[in-house]
Structure 1
Amino acid sequence: MLAVYNWFLRLLFPYVLLRLMWRGLRNPDYWRRIPERFGFIEPLTNIPPGAVAGAHNTSAGRAPAASRLIWIHAVSVGEVRAAVPLVRELEERYPGHALLITTMTPTGSAQVRELFNGRVAHRYAPYDYLAAVTRFLDRTRPVLAIVMETELWPNIFHACRARSIPIFVTNVRMSESSMHKYRRFARFARATLAQVNRFAVQSEADARRLLALGAPPRNVEITGSIKFELSAGASLREAAEVLRLAWGLDRPVWLAASTHEGEEEIVLTTLAELKKQARFANMLLVLVPRHPERFSAVARLCRRHDLRVALRSETPGALDPAAEVLVGDTMGELQLFYGAADCAFIGGSLVPTGGHNLLEAAAVGKPVVFGPHMFNFQEISQMALERGAGVQVPEGARLAPAVADFLGNANRRDRAGQAGQKMVEENRGALAANMRILEQLMGSSGGPDAAPRNPG
């Protein structure tokens, strides 16, 4: 089956290149560092841990000692943000090891740069071509591979297993739709899953679906989601208070976070509907598109609606009180925006994208509204509904009354926000479970530096 898969990949090669070129038309960053996607990177050798250079430049940068390198693969922004608690714990417990994070998207690369400020190396992950994977592993030689969420790469997994590199797939969520897709290739999926040493899954339902695909039961453990490992520290709260002062304390602020094409029209229609009410006449909409390549298009859309628009990149300080929409065209500030807003709409949920993580809003005590399409965060969204931390609307037409209910009722807003914070606090613990598994795998990988400094 692996041979058939590799022949199929060869046939797809022209399409892979064309897709890369096409994406580059919308985001030129896809045209940079293309060799990395085929495993052509500088060998990561001879630099001690912590002294990472070239984390966001070309492959000419050098990075830490490959003989003591932990590889974390996070596809894009959401997975990178989810990996933050894990990366910080690895930095603390394994100071003798260097960390390499790979992503598939330029936005993921930018997020690594924003969050870690050069403390970890970044490269693009190789496409799952055997030659590319071989080059990548030859030049990185990781002692452990950590894959965030459900990314199954047959050649990568088989190659790691052949080199005795333990594979840990963590924060796994397996939706019904994903399970059915993998079931079309049941034998191949089972063989690929068998290469993984351990799976840490978010819920019992995820574990059930993963086992149905053929994952060995002894390798599957329910740990919960490390996305709950969020904290709103004093510095974030203070920064949010300063930002809210700049936006205006006397106006309601509604955040539309991680929106997708088709949702901005609904959001702007909702804004117009809300502003007809006197109590919301001076409200501010903070609109943050999910994909950076859409920032300019969304700003133009707002202007076509005859709205007074400001860009976050051009307005770091006080906001003109006449501004009706602030487009969040920066990276790494979404949780700050959650902290400064009164309530939030979670994008990707009014279109069949599957929604986005609502826990960043809950962690800072902000109620959320989301649409019917939250299948990528089914357990978390259901928990938020049961706890009273948010509301779900069946369609875009119901968005205005749901947002108005939070903006116009301080007691309702506070109760929902507190319920969200409590939900996050009570569901922490996945990180400790993940680290216990990681310590077992690091021990199995051998070497004099495998033991953690602070086993906890």
Structure 2
Amino acid sequence: PKSCIIMETELWPNLLHQASKSGVKLMLANARLSEESAGKYRKQASLSLPMLQSLDRIAAQSKQAAARFIDLGVKPENISVCGSLKFDLNISADKIAQAKALRLEWQRGNSPIWVAGSVHPGEFDAILNAHRQVLADNPDALLIMVPRHPEQFNAAAGKIADAGFNLARRSLNESVQPKTQVLLGDTMGELLTFYGAADQAFVGGTLIDNGGHNPLEPAAFGLPVFVGPQHWDFAEITGLLEDAGALQVIAADSELADGLINKFNDESAYDAASEAGLKVIAANRGALKLQFELARQLIDS
């Protein structure tokens, strides 16, 4: 190949060394670099610096990421701040219609519904404890709990049942009944639809030492978003949403429950958070076009 485009953080020293040695032009697209990852690179400077310097172009997601790359020894002229491709998320009309139809099918049009998306073991108890508090305020509330990995589906079902909640499993085509308290989203590829059918969302991987998952997906549906403190993989995006009032960082199940209950009961607070998230996404679109142009220049050079 004459060119190689690598996404985000998939940097392999041997691959980059051999590609560069063979004259392959290298680009790191949608590049993100947390302070924690930058620290790890610094500890292995003899390996990481040549690897990073072999990159002909870096399309950084943020000014902070660009500054960290430069601090590690990358030439400033090789870096362009383009924003994150994740802001160019487009929710199709079909997906929105599918989500609305699902909520109608459940006959829970007026019930408070929230999603705990991409959650991991170590977070299950906190999510269920928060939902118990939400139910105490509104017994009609529904939690859609979506584990991150398929191998966690049965463990999550066991946790929900052991906690005494009335459970429906999506994988078994169990219908959501008026008495259903938790729907386990134990299927693949439906998380976006669940976000579209809900009112609020917690994004997992953030109450454990994981780094988190994408909070823009629920925000793109106009959902107020909650995350835990361990969200370093999406630090800049989380900061933008938090500063705008679209997202709240919580540290415990009681804090999550209080935030959910507040938004469910305060329409003006809910609407403000919903609109703020949509505005943040709209204001930061355009990374796809910028990164395509950098890729074109790389290929044409």
| Same fold? TM cut 0.5 | yes
1:399 to 242, 256, 268: 256
Amino acid at match of 1:296: N
Match of 2:20 in 1: 161
Mapping 1:181-260, distance limit 5 Å: 181-247=40-106, 248-260=108-120
2:172 to 311, 314, 334: 314
SS state of the match for residue 425, structure 1?
A: helix
Match of 2:10 in 1: 151
Residues in 2 aligned to 1:337 and 1:370: alpha-carbon distance in whole angstroms: 17
Q: Report % sequence identity.
A: 39
Match of 2:147 in 1: 289
Amino acid at match of 2:205: G
Match of 1:71 in 2: none
Residues in 1 aligned to 2:271 and 2:258: alpha-carbon distance in whole angstroms: 17
Match of 1:389 in 2: 246
Contact 2:88 2:288 in 1 (8 A): yes
SS state of the match for residue 276, structure 1?
A: helix
Q: Point out where structure 1 has 5 or more consecutive residues left out of the alignment.
A: 1-141, 445-456
Residues in 1 aligned to 2:155 and 2:118: alpha-carbon distance in whole angstroms: 14
Q: Point out where structure 2 has 5 or more consecutive residues left out of the alignment.
A: none
SS state of the match for residue 168, structure 1?
A: strand
Residues in 1 aligned to 2:25 and 2:185: alpha-carbon distance in whole angstroms: 40
SS state of the match for residue 9, structure 2?
A: coil
Deviation per CA, 1:120-175: give whole Å up to 9, x if none.
xxxxxxxxxxxxxxxxxxxxxx4432221122201111122233322211111111
Deviation per CA, 1:48-87: give whole Å up to 9, x if none.
xxxxxxxxxxxxxxxxxxxxxxxxxxxxxxxxxxxxxxxx
Match of 1:13 in 2: none
Contact 2:170 2:185 in 1 (8 A): yes
Residues in 1 aligned to 2:7 and 2:300: alpha-carbon distance in whole angstroms: 20
The answer on 1:324 being equivalent to 2:167 is no
Amino acid at match of 1:242: A
SS state of the match for residue 169, structure 1?
A: strand
Please report the RMSD computed on the Cα atoms of aligned residues, expressed in angstroms.
Answer: 1.5
Contact 2:30 2:59 in 1 (8 A): yes
Residues in 2 aligned to 1:395 and 1:205: alpha-carbon distance in whole angstroms: 28
Q: State the Cα distance separating 1:321 from its structure 2 match.
A: 2.3
The normalised TM-score by structure 1 is 0.64
The answer on 1:377 being equivalent to 2:244 is no
Amino acid at match of 1:381: T
Structure with larger RCO (C-alpha < 8 A, sep 6+): 2
The normalised TM-score by structure 2 is 0.95
Contact 1:350 1:396 in 2 (8 A): no
Q: State the Cα distance separating 1:227 from its structure 2 match.
A: 0.5
Contact 1:371 1:396 in 2 (8 A): no
The answer on 1:270 being equivalent to 2:147 is no
Contact 2:226 2:249 in 1 (8 A): yes
**Equivalenced residues, count:** 300
Deviates more, 1:367-376 or 1:405-414: 405-414
